[in-house]
Chain A
């Protein structure tokens, strides 16, 4: 196989022309090339649903009759039928909260989430309630990845079973997703997380978003966080991550069971607005964030 001769080069240039036409004709979204119609990406999300498979009981003191996985699934299907590019995420604490978990662990939660087409979930502190074994044994029921970037599981049975980030492609856009977990010390019985090492969430976020932006050229960066929305005391939270990062576009939060009427907009370190959202707990709501992206 000879070198790159003059003839080869001519052929290359000819093919380059053909190639460009080819890609345009072969269905690379026209918007990418022409920059006309924006790409519409719909992000749906839940957090802290705590095994609330059924809707809250009709005589529950709070939120009677609300929520429920079958209605959530119907809502998600309806949105999918109306919009082309949907991503569905959960921000952790799927485990624990109703007898479904005590009797069947996470089997049913994970199987239903898989049927509903969840694209990824991150880890909440309650995912450790039955120890590392109790988490590892349930992962086989999840047909979607678990994304966490700041727990180091290398010395545990979870090594290699979660992902630090994942890139999704929808409508010609590249969407990078990373995940942040809360400090387990003091929150989870130490025997339940064993040799898991906790890395600083902000340092991790800065590293992940840089990698996703600069190495992977993602168009949209999403953080699945179980840090909590905001704290009175000096503690790392979604609001802190939002204000201290540069490239993260959306933080899907959990842990503090915060019912935000509408997603919060926070100015980041580069002066850009970041969307921070969280939808209470118990599967009472579904968060919906629609991004419209365009070639600039």
Chain B
């Protein structure tokens, strides 16, 4: 008897639960909600926002910060002015492309003596922040080039290089070194390589990143280049080493534009 009672009670309870569940579902389905008002604002975490950092979050960050602080705060060299990016050319894109061409050529001199780097290219979009005025630290190089891209050298025919220049012209200019050209109706004109007119039958070596050589950032035109030499050097490391050398030699970075890419209206 006792057993039966419990059984019935359990049955009753489970039915009751099912029914309540059904009722809740019905309620929810019948009473679906509609948006009646939307408010929105984007809150800037700048000096106008008076809010102290969260102490718990800060305490989690501290040990990590201490580890990297030491390494990334090394001052590499100094810049006279901030170097901003832009197009068709800019102090930042010119500086970075020049650095890439010069350092790549010296890598080749040591490791691949048969190669001379004629030209180089860095994409504007790959240079993420300006180079600051004053102390230039390892940290700034991480922010300038956060990516782990490596330097590669591509062997290009003059014809390949011409279509690559047309491509860069159509994009309004990129960071280049060793070449000059005008942009007219989205194409390159008056193309000069190391001061001489581009020769379609000549072979040129381009230094760039593996990311761009693989067609990254819309550079499908580079993807078809078959002959590639990998330097094994990270782009950022190349920059850090170069800047440290400038610092040791007491050379201060300046902002230079020289008309290497221009709008030919």
Q: Which residues of A contact B (CB under 8 A)?
A: 1, 11-12, 15-16, 19-20, 22-23, 28, 32-33, 35, 38-39, 50-51, 53-55, 57, 59-63, 65-75, 77-78, 96-104, 108, 111-112, 115-116, 129-130, 172-174, 186-190, 217, 219-220, 249, 260-263, 273, 275, 277, 279, 283-296
Contacts and interface: CB of A to CB of B under 8 A. Distances in A.
17 contacts: A15-B15, A15-B19, A16-B23, A32-B28, A50-B146, A54-B65, A71-B49, A73-B56, A116-B57, A263-B42, A273-B38, A284-B45, A285-B42, A288-B43, A293-B36, A295-B32, A296-B33
Given A75-B49, A77-B54, A108-B61, A28 B130 contact: no
A69 B62 CA distance: 12
Nearest to B30: A295
Nearest to A22: B20
Given A35-B31, A65-B47, A277 B57 contact: no
Nearest to B59: A70
Given A129-B147, A284-B45, A291-B37, 7 more contacts: A66-B44, A70-B58, A73-B56, A112-B57, A220-B33, A285-B43, A288-B43
B133 interface: yes
B145 to A, nearest CB: 10
B39 interface: yes
A187 B125 CA distance: 11
The A interface, classified by DSSP as helix, strand, loop or mixed, is: mixed
B23 A23 contact: yes
A19 to B, nearest CB: 4
B146 A96 contact: yes
Nearest to B132: A61
A51 to B, nearest CB: 8
Nearest 5 A/B pairs, CB to CB: A70-B53, A73-B54, A293-B33, A219-B33, A292-B37
Contact of B82 (A61, A285, A291): A61
B217 interface: yes
Contacts of B53: 68, 70-71, 73-74
A62 B59 CA distance: 27
A24 to B, nearest CB: 9
Interface string B167-178: 000000000000
A140 to B, nearest CB: 17
Question: Considering residues B40, B129, B138, B216, which has the most beta carbons from chain A within 10 angstroms of its beta carbon?
Answer: B40
